[in-house]
Structure 1
């Protein structure tokens, strides 16, 4: 099969999300200017720089405007990226529901908050890791807002570390596939890089 992105008979969203898999999930918490805590998952998410430490996520702009997350980040210039592991999969999915901006997904999905150290938006209590971020830049990329955040604090649960270092083998993260499908990391293998 050959797909021409200019051919509107194929959904490029479905093609991209069906083939670029698995995608890590950034569970983004923000706080509005009015003080409402927002929590939403984004699978257009990744790390893009080490120095300075930059994470990105890319909300798809709605026909009627920006998502609550994108609006909050633009207004407050702060957000938290929470890591999604199997134990939080159902809660993460519940927070993908579209609510009015006056309602909090934390409350609607019964997700417990934890205070952040350097930013106002709360973290998700109990997650394996959370990255507190301040806005670095927002780039308009087609129908998406590419949000870049500089990491100013990282929270890591002790049980996912070994000798004071993050131990990836202890992280039970999930990734997004397509539609309602997700993937786990229970089939790991190791390869040594060549010299």
Structure 2
């Protein structure tokens, strides 16, 4: 076993270790809206469930040179967003939204998503996602590295669940994970599909 203190590794080396060791990571494709009503769409793999009572998911949005990304700024300003699950059918489109654009330019100009009006929030949903959550901002925490803010952690409370009929069985309450076919993020340019399943009985 090789051991390193955080002081012995560069930030880039630490990031490579984290994204290589912690995976596959679920991917949230988030639509938000600016004060000028520009729709921003961007994918994030620092994403997961925080709570189910109430239903809250979290996403960590890394800053660039200390500057807040459009998604974080929009959500903090307007207190709402739509979170979509990236799957095998929409991952190529989702990848197109990862480009760096000025705040006044929408990723929808480059990724051919179909927008749908949301029920309770202003940002639109994306029809190509089998799962989407309309959310409100529950909490915002800044992450510091010394005196510098390096990330914005957003906790988003789910207000409305939208689930494709082919993946959700209301009688059992379960999502068919094979039909959803969510993909996970690995390191570099790599993604992972749902593979072989196995079960272990809890003690």
TM-score (norm 1): 0.94
Runs of 4+ more than 3 Å apart: none
User: Which residue is 1:135 aligned to?
Assistant: 137
Q: Secondary structure at the match of 2:6?
A: coil
2:147 corresponds to? none
Contact 2:31–2:123 (8 Å) recurs in 1: yes
Alignment of 1:65-80 (within 5 A): 65-80=67-82
Count of residue pairs the alignment pairs up? 194
State how far apart, in whole Å, the 2-side matches of 1:162 and 1:135 are: 28
Counterpart contact for 2:113–2:128, Cα < 8 Å: no
Partner-residue secondary structure (3-state), 1:170:
helix
SS in 1 for 2:16: helix
**2:162 paired with 1:161:** no
In the TM superposition, residue 163 of structure 1 has moved relative to its aligned partner by 4.8
- Residue number among 143, 146, 154 corresponding to 1:147 in the alignment: 154
Structure 1 gap segments, 5+ residues each:
none
Q: CA deviation at 1:122?
A: 0.8
Structure 1 residue 127: deviation in Å? 1.0
**2:101 counterpart SS class:** coil
* Distance apart, 1:64 and its partner CA: 4.7
Q: Is the 8 A contact 1:161 1:170 kept in 2?
A: no
User: How far does residue 191 in structure 1 lie from its aligned partner after superposition?
Assistant: 2.9
Q: 1:73, CA displacement in angstroms?
A: 0.5
Matches within 5 A, 1:1-195: 1-9=2-10, 11-142=13-144, 143-164=150-171, 165=173, 166-194=175-203
Contact kept, 8 Å, 2:72 with 2:152, in 1: the verdict is yes
Contact 2:90–2:128 (Cα < 8 Å) also in 1: no
User: TM-score, with normalisation over the residues of structure 2?
Assistant: 0.91
Quote the offset at 1:2 in angstroms: 1.8
